[in-house]
Amino acid sequence: MTPVEKTIGNAANFVDERLGAAGWVKKSLNKVFPDHWSFMLGEVCMYSFVILLLSGTFLTFWFDPSQRDVIYNGVYEPLKGLKMSAAYASTLDISFEVRGGLLMRQIHHWAANIFMAAIVAHLLRVFFTGAFRKPREFNWILGILLLTLGLVEGLFGYSLPDDLLSGTGLRITSAIIQALPVVGTYISFFLFGGAFPGTGFIPRIFTLHILIIPGIFLAVITIHVMLVWYQKHTQFPGVGRTEKNVVGHPILPVYMAKAGGFFFVVFGVIAFLSAVASINPIWLYGPYTPGQISAGSQPDWYMGWLDGLVRMAPPLETHAFGHTISWNILIPALIVPGILFTGMALYPFIESWITGDKREHHLLDRPRNVPNRTALGVMSITFVMVALINGGNDILATNFHLSINQIMWFSRIGIFVLPPIAFVITKRLCLSLQRADRDLLLHGSETGRLLRLPHGEFVEVHEPISAEKAFLLQSHEEPIALELSEVDSRGVRRPGALKNKVQRRLSKAHAVSVPKVSEQELKEIEHH
Amino acid sequence: MSNELVPTDDSIAPAHAPRSTDINPKAEKRAEQQIAILFGLSALGSLLLIYSYVFVTKDVFIFIPIMGNQNAQQLGIGIGMAMSLFFIGIAAIHWAKTLMSDVEVVNHRHEFRSSDEDREEFVKTVKNGVAAAGLGRRKLIKRSLGVAIGFFALPPVLLLRDLGPLPKKQLETTNWKAGTRLLTDPGNRPILASDLEVGAVVQVLPAVENEDERPLSDIAKDPVLLIRLREQDFQLTPEKLAMTHNGIIAFSKICSHMGCAVALYEQQTKHLLCPCHQSTFDVTRGAKVIFGPAARPLPQLDITVDGEGYLIARAAFNEPVGPSFWERNSQ
Amino acid sequence: MKRLSRYRRHKAAGPALLIFALLAIGTTFSVASATVKASPTSFARSAVIDEGKQIFLKGCSSCHGLNAEGGAVAPSLIGVGAASVDFQVGTGRMPMADMSQQAMRKKPVYNAEETAALAAYVASLAPGPAIPDDSVLNYERDGNTAQGGELFRNNCAMCHNFAGQGGALTQGKYAPTLMGVEPKYIYEALITGPQSMPVFSDKTITPAEKLSLIKWIKAAEAEPNLGGATMGRIGPVTEGLLAWVLGIGLLIGIAVWLTTRAR
Q: What are phi and psi of B149, to 5 degrees?
A: -65, -40
Q: Find the mean pLDDT for residues A115-120.
A: 96
Q: Which chains touch C (3 or more CB pairs under 8 A)?
A: A, B
Does residue C5 belong to the interface with chain A, where contact is any CB pair within 8 Å? yes
Report chain C's C-alpha Rg in angstroms: 23
Above 90 in pLDDT, residue A241? Answer: no
Cβ contact, residue pair A200, B293, below 8 Å? no
Chain B hits for C29, Cβ within 8 Å: 232
Among C239, C242, C260, the strongest candidate for a mutation testing the A interface, having the largest count of A CBs within 10 A, is C239
Above 80 in pLDDT, residue A15? Answer: yes
Strand order in the sheet with B248-252: B182-184, B201-206, B224-228, B248-252, B300-301
Chain B hits for A437, Cβ within 8 Å: none
Does residue B263 belong to the interface with chain A, where contact is any CB pair within 8 Å? yes
Nearest CA in chain B to A359: B111
Which of helix, strand or coil describes residue C28?
Answer: helix
Confidence band of C227 (pLDDT split at 50, 70, 90): confident
Cβ contact, residue pair C204, B102, below 8 Å? no
Cβ contact, residue pair B191, C154, below 8 Å? no
Q: Is B251 inside a domain boundary?
A: yes
Which of helix, strand or coil describes residue C80?
Answer: coil
- How far is the alpha carbon of B313 from chain A, nearest alpha carbon, in Å? 19
Report chain A's C-alpha Rg in angstroms: 28
Q: Please tell me the predicted confidence (pLDDT) of residue A487.
A: 67
Q: Please tell me the predicted confidence (pLDDT) of residue A25.
A: 79
Tell me if B229 sits within 8 A of B245, measured CB to CB. Answer: no
Nearest CA in chain B to C229: B67
Confidence band of C37 (pLDDT split at 50, 70, 90): very low
Q: Is B118 inside a domain boundary?
A: no
Span between the terminal Cα atoms of chain C, in Å: 46
Q: What digits encode the pLDDT tens for the residues A356-403?
A: 888 899 999 999 999 999 999 999 999 999 999 999 999 999 888 889
Which of helix, strand or coil describes residue C175?
Answer: strand
DSSP state, residue A14? H
Cβ contact, residue pair A400, C1, below 8 Å? yes
Above 60 in pLDDT, residue B12? Answer: no
- How far is the alpha carbon of C219 from chain B, nearest alpha carbon, in Å? 14
Cβ contact, residue pair C170, A405, below 8 Å? yes
Who among C5, C150, C235 is closest to A82 (CB)? Answer: C150
Contact residues, A window 151-180, toward C, CB-based 8 Å cutoff: 164-165
Contact residues, A window 186-225, toward B, CB-based 8 Å cutoff: 186, 188-198, 200, 204
Contact residues, C window 146-205, toward A, CB-based 8 Å cutoff: 146, 149-150, 153-154, 157-163, 166-172, 174-175
Q: Is B36 inside a domain boundary?
A: yes
Q: Find the mean pLDDT for residues A506-526.
A: 81
Q: Is B222 inside a domain boundary?
A: yes
The alpha carbon of residue A294 and the mean position of all alpha carbons in its chain are separated, in whole angstroms, by 30
Half-sphere exposure of C85 (CA within 13 A, CB side): 35
**CATH value at residue B237:** 2.102.10.10
Q: Is B324 inside a domain boundary?
A: no
Q: Please tell me the predicted confidence (pLDDT) of residue B59.
A: 86
Q: Find the mean pLDDT for residues A47-69.
A: 95
Q: Find the mean pLDDT for residues A420-437.
A: 95
Cβ contact, residue pair C225, B75, below 8 Å? no
Q: Please tell me the predicted confidence (pLDDT) of residue B220.
A: 92
Confidence band of C31 (pLDDT split at 50, 70, 90): very low
Cβ contact, residue pair A165, C162, below 8 Å? yes
- How far is the alpha carbon of A120 from chain C, nearest alpha carbon, in Å? 11
Q: Please tell me the predicted confidence (pLDDT) of residue C16.
A: 53
Among B64, B197, B198, B246, the strongest candidate for a mutation testing the C interface, having the largest count of C CBs within 10 A, is B197
Cβ contact, residue pair B74, C226, below 8 Å? yes
Among B69, B79, B163, B329, the strongest candidate for a mutation testing the A interface, having the largest count of A CBs within 10 A, is B163
Chain B hits for A441, Cβ within 8 Å: 3, 6
Chain A hits for B264, Cβ within 8 Å: 295
Task: Clarify whether residues B188 and B308 are in a common domain.
Answer: yes
The mean-pLDDT minimum among A231-240, A305-314, B218-227 falls in: A231-240
What is the number of CB-based contacts under 8 A between chain A and chain B? Answer: 349
Which of helix, strand or coil describes residue C98?
Answer: coil
Cβ contact, residue pair B195, C201, below 8 Å? yes
- How far is the alpha carbon of B75 from chain A, nearest alpha carbon, in Å? 5
The secondary structure of A197-256, three-state, reads: CCCCHHHHHHHHHHHHHHHHHHHHHHHHHHHHHHHCCCECCCCCCCCCEEEEEEHHHHHH
Beta bridge partners of A460: A450
A49 or C32: which carries more pLDDT confidence? A49
Cβ contact, residue pair C19, B268, below 8 Å? yes
The mean predicted confidence, pLDDT, of chain A is: 90
Q: What digits encode the pLDDT tens for the residues A460-495?
A: 888 888 888 888 888 888 888 887 666 666 777 766
Tell me if A43 sits within 8 A of A258, measured CB to CB. Answer: no
Q: Which domain holds residue B26?
A: 20-98
Cβ contact, residue pair C227, A95, below 8 Å? yes
Confidence band of A27 (pLDDT split at 50, 70, 90): confident
Nearest CA in chain A to C148: A78
Q: Please tell me the predicted confidence (pLDDT) of residue B3.
A: 34
Q: What digits encode the pLDDT tens for the residues B151-181?
A: 888 888 888 888 989 998 889 899 999 999 9
Q: What digits encode the pLDDT tens for the residues A77-102?
A: 999 999 999 999 999 999 999 999 99
Tell me if B181 sits within 8 A of B189, measured CB to CB. Answer: no
Task: Clarify whether residues B94 and B198 are in a common domain.
Answer: no
Q: Please tell me the predicted confidence (pLDDT) of residue B10.
A: 47
Q: Which amino acid is at B142?
A: K
The mean-pLDDT minimum among A310-314, B105-109, C235-239 falls in: B105-109
Task: Clarify whether residues B88 and B187 are in a common domain.
Answer: no
Contact residues, A window 63-82, toward C, CB-based 8 Å cutoff: 77-82
Total domains in the fold of chain B: 2
Q: What are phi and psi of B86, to 5 degrees?
A: -60, -45
**What is d(CA B160, CA A248) in angstroms, rounded to the nearest whole number?**
52
ipTM score for this prediction: 0.91
Task: Clarify whether residues B187 and B292 are in a common domain.
Answer: yes
Q: Is B210 inside a domain boundary?
A: yes
Does residue A244 belong to the interface with chain B, where contact is any CB pair within 8 Å? yes
Q: Is B250 inside a domain boundary?
A: yes
Contact residues, B window 19-58, toward A, CB-based 8 Å cutoff: 53, 58
Does residue A103 belong to the interface with chain B, where contact is any CB pair within 8 Å? yes
Where does residue A104 rank: exposed (0-12), middle (13-18), buried (19+ CB within 10 A)?
Answer: buried
Q: Which chains touch A (3 or more CB pairs under 8 A)?
A: B, C
Tell me if A367 sits within 8 A of A129, measured CB to CB. Answer: yes
Q: Please tell me the predicted confidence (pLDDT) of residue C17.
A: 53
Q: What digits encode the pLDDT tens for the residues A129-158?
A: 999 998 999 999 999 999 999 999 999 999
Q: Which domains does chain A have, with CATH numbers?
A: 37-291+301-343 (1.20.810.10)
Who among B19, B20, B265 is closest to C198 (CB)? Answer: B265
Contact residues, A window 158-177, toward B, CB-based 8 Å cutoff: 168, 171-172, 174-176
Q: Please tell me the predicted confidence (pLDDT) of residue A472.
A: 86
Tell me if A501 sits within 8 A of A354, measured CB to CB. Answer: no
Q: Which chains touch B (3 or more CB pairs under 8 A)?
A: A, C
Who among C155, C204, C224 is closest to B191 (CB)? Answer: C204
Task: Clarify whether residues B299 and B204 are in a common domain.
Answer: yes
Q: Please tell me the predicted confidence (pLDDT) of residue A142.
A: 96
Give percent above pLDDT 90 in chain A.
Answer: 65
Q: Find the mean pLDDT for residues C231-248.
A: 91
Question: How open is the CA angle A522-A523-A528, to the nearest 5 degrees?
Answer: 95
Superfamily name and number for C2-125? Cytochrome c-like domain (1.10.760.10)
Which architecture does CATH list for C139-222?
Orthogonal Bundle (1.10)
**For residue B255, is it left (φ>0), alpha (ψ between -120 and 50) or beta?**
beta
Out of B50, B83, B98, pick the residue that ends a domain.
B98
Cβ contact, residue pair A291, B203, below 8 Å? yes
Above 60 in pLDDT, residue B6? Answer: no
Confidence band of B7 (pLDDT split at 50, 70, 90): very low
- How far is the alpha carbon of C149 from chain A, nearest alpha carbon, in Å? 7
Q: Is B286 inside a domain boundary?
A: yes
The model's pTM is 0.90
Cβ contact, residue pair B293, A517, below 8 Å? no
Tell me if A237 sits within 8 A of A366, measured CB to CB. Answer: yes
Q: Please tell me the predicted confidence (pLDDT) of residue C36.
A: 42
